[in-house]
Amino acid sequence: MSTPPAEAKTIGAQTFADCGEEKSHLKLFRVNAGVPILEALEHAAHVLYYAKMLSLEAAMDPKAEKFAFASHYLCEMGKAIVDDLLSAMQPGGPHPQ
């Protein structure tokens, strides 16, 4: 696996948070374009860490089921960041938004 170029940045192609009746067509949020790769990965790591902790709490404590949706949304956000960076590093991928 090669090291990503230090100048790689998010491109703003990934969206998350489905809304409306046609949930697959209407998104509430988008990853912002232009964030340097290391900063974006750092944020993704934090978001995914807390999603993991909340999901574990929700799984272990029957009274903590309220954490399940918070974990779900955090996972969706973290995945969008990682997917956006992967798209940015693919040759011929989407262009910055």
Token pair of 86 as six digits: 């992967």
Whole-angstrom distance, CA of residue 54 vs CA of residue 72: 9
63 is a domain residue: yes
13 within 8 A of 27, measured Cβ to Cβ: no
Mean pLDDT of 78-87: 94
For the chain, the domain total comes to: 1
What does pTM read for this prediction?
0.81
How far is residue 10's CA from residue 81's CA, in Å, rounded to a whole number?
Answer: 8
User: Looking at the domain assignment, is residue 94 inside a domain?
Assistant: no
What band does 97 get if pLDDT is binned at 50, 70 and 90? low
97 domain-assigned? no
**Domain membership of residue 42 as a residue range:** 15-88
pLDDT tens for each residue of 24-33: 778 889 999 9
